Structure 1
Amino acid sequence: MAGNEAAVLIAVVAGIIGIGVIAQLLSDWFRVPSIVFLIAAGILLGPEVTGLLNPESFGTPALSAIVGLSVAIIVFEGAFHLRIDEMREAPRTAFRLVTVGALIALVGTGVAVHYLLGVGWLVAFLVGSLLVATGPTVIAPILDVVPVRDRVGIALDTEGIVNDVTAAITAVVIFEIITTGASGPSALVTLFAERLGYGLLVGIAVAGLLYYALQYVDLSPSNAPRNARLLVLAGALVAYAAANYLASESGVAAVAVAGILLGNADVPYEDEIAAFKGDVTLIVLSFVFITLAALLKFSVLLELGVAGSASWSWSRSCCGRCWCSSPAPATASPGERNCS
């Protein structure tokens, strides 16, 4: 029986990876973001339709750990490509997205959820914090096929990384306040600063160790590029695990900080590392979207109804207005004036 279960699980994982590769091919052929095909595949294969994929077969703790590590790789890869000199091309837009834009989305979604769904304020803001983040898991596949101006792409990449970190930490902090009964702005600020601080410290430490190893340690003359790739991958996972061990959800901040620092440090084998991380990200992105889409329950969506859809639409639209409100230059084409 155990052997059969293992065989089924192996088949499920192999199928997810295969579907992920096909989704990427379809994305390239039709110029449609791969997440569209991944989510559709997850829903079709999940218990609500064909029942060929049941995420519960992984077990809740195992699935949570796998998804967490996958997100860590995706965030690190996205942060690794962020260049500080390029970010200067759209400083005001990026700053608005990660400050005013995020705040408007959080407050607006919280208010909408509170009044439309009739839940308490803390739960409403918990939902709001979850919906604030877009994240590199969504932004990267879209930017792969949707042409935008350089400054728009840089602003969105920055927003995807920074807001993913702050939104994840905010959500955990609010959830902890709900479950522990803590109250007051001081509790919120303290818990947030604690998690962000752990993430910053671990991320800086791991980036420093990786930089030293890549620059000054003999990684074997014959296999140095391969060893460099594996070393960086292991470093990203260690940063995530170590920070999360110190404080839950601080791991996302750690991998983001490590990725940004290492990506801007002019390390050896940078092109090989970037290409390898991109391939690994494709695999884990497929697993995350297909598996999580299979968890969708139509009955829950129907229960949310129009009010739930309106709350979600508000969070997306108000966030979009914040970055689209940045005026386009006079030389911009009509498509660029509409945020491309």
Structure 2
Amino acid sequence: MDHALLSLEDFMFIASILLITGVLTTKISSKLGVPSLILFIIVGMISGSEGLGLIYFDNARLAQVIGIIALVIILFEGGLQTSFKTVRSVAKPALSLATLGVLITTSIVAVAAKLILDISWLEAFLFGSIVGSTDAAAVFSVLKGQNVKERLGATLEVESGTNDPMAVFLTISFIELLTNDSPSYLLIFGSFFWQMGMGLLIGFLAGKLGIFAINRVNLESSGLYPVFAVAFALLAYSITNFVGASGLLAVYLAAMFIGNADLTYRHSIIKFHEGFAWIMQIVMFIILGLLVFPSQLLTFDVIWKAVLLAVTLIIIARPIAVFLSTTRMGFKWRDKLFLAWAGLRGAVPIVLATYPLIAGIENSPMIFNVVFFVVLTSTLLQGSTIAYFAKIFKLTGPKKVEPRHSLELVSIGKANAEIMEYEVNEESPINQSIIKNIDFPDDVLINAIIRKNELVTPSGDTVIETGDILYILVSKKSKPTMNRLLKS
């Protein structure tokens, strides 16, 4: 199909088919044990000019823009569901992996790239920088629902959410060295601290501003609150990038502050962004699949080089980086082996591989194709075996059970009230209490109890049990009191 003559109807039809196919592949991927992002990429490749010919796409700059927007949404959703308690428990190893680990991985892969690809040292380090970081979209997607031990899963998620700035900094720095005849090494080195420092500062400010606005602005519909929240993710990224700092770091940090706050319509905001992040994953990976041409990717020259580099990355570089970066941090050798194996590559390396294409680096087409194949190998091999390795190494925790019930939280208009969702555990102060004996404020009412996936209609004589999920109608003025009561 000629992309120049693509009508609006044709575009909408193709987009709908691609989205439907993308959503259905998530069901197929769970049955096959293959990460869904692999299938999204395959859908894009099949839909391209060398497949079914539905769409001709070779615009690296547009793919980069779409990829970055998608990464912002995915990182924001991941940050919303990352608790500060979890971050504090794994901050040291996660940040060490996100900085020192990326440097070590980059250096080892660069040596291999120099030998295998027969390119200059600067281009080799550029290649190493592109594949040096784990990918948040891939890690969040693969770990979701897995019963990997909490500390290991948290380390991987925080690492993947915070190591993109290092990879972006290294990639841009080596492109600068390749394209500038007289680069300033001091300026490049200083820019790292500027990017990290301003990213942290703006992320903190955007998060606090977002919390204040979401809780203080009384919108007409609850459906507007998720849109309002995502606006602060885009704001954090754009302002941070405008001042030459790390926008992705700012987004992830802002999301953590917003996600850990006591928010109005928190349930709606979280659920909206789960779906939004899935949409952006589907769109991003299909676009990246469209960008690659199988005739250039699936050649013997690309395949053997990419396989050797993937083996170097997975078997040598990542394990060495993990073992060195987490020295004396309380991890056993089995933990470290799992952290090494679960260091998935995904969209970030492919998006970063578009930077040399746009900059016109001499060997950029070859670098892009090799990076693409390395990502496919990493995701397919590692992503499909994470649960198996966790089981073999005995690193699984209690099985994660997704609740099958749902309760639509609708806008209560101007009533200045909302519904809280609270799960009772063994340490909960109201566990084993009779409802009429609990010292709730007068304007608080337990509307429903979900017990063992069954609805229980509460009465004054109902006893609260471990595992109960309570839906509590509370006025906004009494919400702080309720939070103190339920946490005491």
Q: Which TM bucket (shorter chain)? A: 0.7 to 0.9
Displacement of 1:68: 1.8
Amino acid at match of 2:170: T
Structure 2: give runs of 5+ residues left out of the alignment.
336-388, 397-488
Which residue does the alignment assign to 1:259? 255
Contact persistence 1:240–1:251 (CA under 8 A): yes
Could you tell me the percent identity over the aligned residues? Answer: 25
Which residue, out of 281, 286, 294, partners 1:290? Answer: 286
Contact persistence 2:76–2:251 (CA under 8 A): yes
Residue 113, structure 1, aligned to residue 109, structure 2: no
Residue 246, structure 1, aligned to residue 243, structure 2: yes
Structure 2 CA distance, aligned partners of 1:213 and 1:39? 38
Amino acid at match of 2:152: V
Contact persistence 1:32–1:145 (CA under 8 A): no
Structure 2 CA distance, aligned partners of 1:142 and 1:39? 15
Which residue does the alignment assign to 1:281? 277
Contact persistence 2:75–2:136 (CA under 8 A): yes
Partner-residue secondary structure (3-state), 1:55: coil
Q: CA 1:304–1:29 in structure 2 vs 1: closer, same or farther (change >3 Å)?
A: closer
Which residue does the alignment assign to 1:205? 205
Structure 1 CA distance, aligned partners of 2:266 and 2:186? 42
Q: CA 1:13–1:192 in structure 2 vs 1: closer, same or farther (change >3 Å)?
A: farther
Residue 44, structure 1, aligned to residue 46, structure 2: yes
Structural RMSD (CA): 2.9
Write the mapping of 1:113-152 to structure 2, written as runs, cut at 5 A. Answer: 113-144=113-144, 146-152=146-152
Which residue does the alignment assign to 2:16? 14
Give the number of the structure whose residues are more often helix, by fraction. Answer: 1
Residue 308, structure 1, aligned to residue 364, structure 2: no
Displacement of 1:243: 2.4
Q: CA 1:339–1:292 in structure 2 vs 1: closer, same or farther (change >3 Å)?
A: farther
- Aligned pairs, how many? 332
Residue 337, structure 1, aligned to residue 393, structure 2: yes
Q: CA 1:95–1:4 in structure 2 vs 1: closer, same or farther (change >3 Å)?
A: closer
Contact persistence 1:74–1:137 (CA under 8 A): yes
Structure 1: give runs of 5+ residues left out of the alignment.
none
Write the mapping of 1:316-331 to structure 2, written as runs, cut at 5 A. Answer: 316-317=314-315, 318-320=317-319, 322-323=321-322, 326-327=331-332, 328=334
Amino acid at match of 1:319: R
Write the mapping of 1:25-104 to structure 2, written as runs, cut at 5 A. Answer: 25-56=27-58, 59-91=59-91, 93-104=93-104
Which residue, out of 225, 229, 234, partners 2:231? Answer: 234
1:24-83, Cα deviation, whole Å (9 max, x unpaired): 222344454211321222222222332223234xx5544432222111111111122222
1:278-334, Cα deviation, whole Å (9 max, x unpaired): 1001111001111102222334432334233212332233325654783148xxx98
Displacement of 1:105: 0.7
Per chain length, whose mean CA-contact separation is higher, i.e. which structure has more relative contact order (CA < 8 Å, sep 6+)?
1
Structure 1 CA distance, aligned partners of 2:119 and 2:394? 35
- Tell me the TM-score normalised to structure 1 length: 0.86
Structure 2 CA distance, aligned partners of 1:198 and 1:52? 43
Contact persistence 1:207–1:259 (CA under 8 A): yes
Q: CA 1:186–1:67 in structure 2 vs 1: closer, same or farther (change >3 Å)?
A: same
Structure 2 CA distance, aligned partners of 1:213 and 1:183? 43
Q: CA 1:18–1:90 in structure 2 vs 1: closer, same or farther (change >3 Å)?
A: same
Partner-residue secondary structure (3-state), 1:244: helix
1:112-154, Cα deviation, whole Å (9 max, x unpaired): 1112112122211111111012221111111125442111111
Q: Which stretch of the first structure deviates more once superposed, 130-139 or 264-273? A: 264-273
Q: Which stretch of the first structure deviates more once superposed, 279-288 or 306-315? A: 306-315
Structure 2 CA distance, aligned partners of 1:182 and 1:339? 50
Q: CA 1:169–1:100 in structure 2 vs 1: closer, same or farther (change >3 Å)?
A: closer
In the TM superposition, structure 1's runs of 4+ consecutive aligned residues that sit over 6 Å from their partners are none
Contact persistence 2:45–2:293 (CA under 8 A): no
Displacement of 1:229: 0.8
Q: Which stretch of the first structure deviates more once superposed, 81-90 or 130-139? A: 81-90
Structure 2 CA distance, aligned partners of 1:72 and 1:192? 20
Contact persistence 2:238–2:247 (CA under 8 A): yes
Displacement of 1:19: 1.7
Amino acid at match of 1:9: F
Displacement of 1:10: 2.4
